[in-house]
Amino acid sequence: MFDEVGAQLMVRFIHTADWHLGMQAHFLPAEARSRFAEDRFSAVGAIGDLAREEACSFVVVAGDVFDSNHVDRQVIAKAVDELSSFTVPVFLLPANHDALDASSVYRSPAWLDRCPAGVTVLEELVAIPVGEGGAVEIVGVPWLTKRQLGDPVAAGYEAQVVSAGASRVVVGHGIVDEISPDRDDPSLIRAAGMRDALESGKVQYVALGDRHSVTEIEGSDGRAWYSGTPVATDYGEMNPNQVLLVQLDRGTCTVENRSVGSWTFHRPSFDLNGEEDVGRLEEWLHGVPSKHTTVVKLALRGTLGLAENARLEAVLEDSRLTFALLNTWELHSDLVVAPDDADLAALDVSGYVREALDDLALEAGRADEKGIVARDALNLLYRLAQ
């Protein structure tokens, strides 16, 4: 919409990406895996609700809507069902996970026969006017294959203008060179070219996907962002479970986070050197909210006696009943179980069991593989005797 002198008035939209519908979370137990998959569809529904509540004009999804071009038909049907509830236009960008190649999910009968009228797949490099009076032009740069040989976004800056004076929103997918560990990758998005397009006024906003953490591109004046993933998918993601609410108004741009997902991934470290430390770990586990949508990988270090380790294992075993997944990060754990005289004296055993206990206690002091095996066996024997 424009005023009498041709200045663009406010438009509001949602920028999201990396839904990865149909993602196979094989690392989760079966029950949690099912919930993880369903919560991804629930997040899509939440995005539709948010678009309506915030009076948005449209929604752009910057790639990887589906985790693969080979997702099950049921995944497509559920996606269509959620998208059908949207009350504003939705624009989907094919990207590396669901590229617009011969096997594309967007060319399958399961999609073509059901695609809602308000959903547009950004299949071509053309400007699409949106909103009252064409106040915004959306330009999507689709991935036609899973491999790119050049900047996967740059062509969007130069697409032919359809509505003079409209704000251009470029929707792209890939990694920006300045945050990539591999600067020689030919498929990187060139930050300098993006900044030039923004500074020259060719583009008013760049909606990016691929990075699962909400990230502003440095030097973009708040006009180029990764929206992150609406449902967390792995450890190390910063500020996941979000979408971005973007507002363009008379040359200004404001961006706000909105939460839609609830899954979290934690990798905490604990030094355990006594009963009090085990108690602190237990307190932390009890205090974690929404355990049924939380994945925890514990790095445990230190030295515990047999009784203290038995309590630790009981705490972990009990917590596994409530968390989506709770395990030990073996690569970063170094927990030694060292029996002391009090541990051994507390066991009321005799005969062969006592002899085995004494032999294992002696072997447990070794620093080699035999010592590790002896400590594990001693711990098991202690628990059985208890």
Question: Does 324 share its domain with 295?
Answer: yes
Question: Does 292 share its domain with 334?
Answer: yes
Question: Does 274 share its domain with 351?
Answer: yes
Residue 341, judged by CB atoms within 10 A of its CB (0-12, 13-18, 19+), counts as exposed
In the chain the beta strands, taken as DSSP E runs, fall at: 11-16, 58-61, 90-92, 119-121, 127-130, 136-140, 167-173, 205-209, 215-216, 224-226, 242-249, 252-259, 264-266, 269-272, 294-304, 325-328, 334-337
Question: Does 164 share its domain with 243?
Answer: yes
Question: Does 293 share its domain with 271?
Answer: yes
Q: Is residue 380 part of a domain?
A: yes
Final residue belonging to a domain, choices 229, 259, 289: 259
Final residue belonging to a domain, choices 219, 237, 259: 259
Q: Is residue 328 part of a domain?
A: yes
Q: Is residue 86 part of a domain?
A: yes
| CATH number of 187's domain | 3.60.21.10
Structure tokens at 371: 């010592």
Question: Does 242 share its domain with 269?
Answer: no
Q: Is residue 121 part of a domain?
A: yes
**Residues 308/315, Cβ–Cβ less than 8 Å:** no
What are the phi and psi torsion angles at 248 (to 5°)?
Answer: -105, 125
Question: Does 169 share its domain with 237?
Answer: yes
Question: Does 165 share its domain with 115?
Answer: yes
Q: Is residue 5 part of a domain?
A: no
Structure tokens at 314: 């009981």
Closest-CA residue to 76 (of 114, 40, 45)? 114
Question: Does 379 share its domain with 243?
Answer: no
In the chain, the number of structural domains is 2
Query: Using CA atoms, how far apart are residues 374 and 358, in angstroms rounded to an integer?
Result: 11
Query: Using CA atoms, how far apart are residues 118 and 89, in angstroms rounded to an integer?
Result: 5
Query: Using CA atoms, how far apart are residues 140 and 163, in angstroms rounded to an integer?
Result: 16
Rounded (10°) angle between helices 73-83 and 30-53: 30
Q: Is residue 2 part of a domain?
A: no
User: Which residue in this structure is represented by tokens 């993601």?
Assistant: 237
Range of the domain at 174: 11-259
Question: Does 219 share its domain with 268?
Answer: no
Distances (CA, A) of 381 to 48, 192, 350, 353: 56, 64, 13, 9
Q: From first to last of the 386 residues of the chain, give the pLDDT tens digit.
A: 445 444 456 899 999 999 999 999 999 999 999 999 999 999 999 999 999 999 999 999 999 999 999 999 999 999 999 999 999 999 999 999 999 999 999 999 999 999 999 999 999 999 999 977 788 999 999 999 988 889 999 999 999 888 788 999 999 999 999 999 888 888 999 999 999 999 999 999 999 999 999 999 999 999 999 999 999 999 999 999 999 999 999 889 999 999 999 999 999 999 999 999 999 999 999 999 999 999 999 999 998 888 888 899 999 999 999 999 999 998 888 887 776 666 566 666 666 666 776 777 777 666 567 766 776 777 776 666 66
Q: Is residue 4 part of a domain?
A: no
Closest-CA residue to 346 (of 361, 334, 335)? 361
The Cβ-side half-sphere exposure at 172, using a 13 Å CA radius, reads 28
Measured in Å, how far apart are the chain's first and last C-alpha atoms? 76
Q: Is residue 96 part of a domain?
A: yes
Final residue belonging to a domain, choices 201, 233, 259: 259
Query: Using CA atoms, how far apart are residues 118 and 116, in angstroms rounded to an integer?
Result: 5
Question: Does 301 share its domain with 237?
Answer: no
Query: Using CA atoms, how far apart are residues 106 and 100, in angstroms rounded to an integer?
Result: 7
Q: What is the pLDDT of residue 294?
A: 97
Question: Does 270 share its domain with 238?
Answer: no
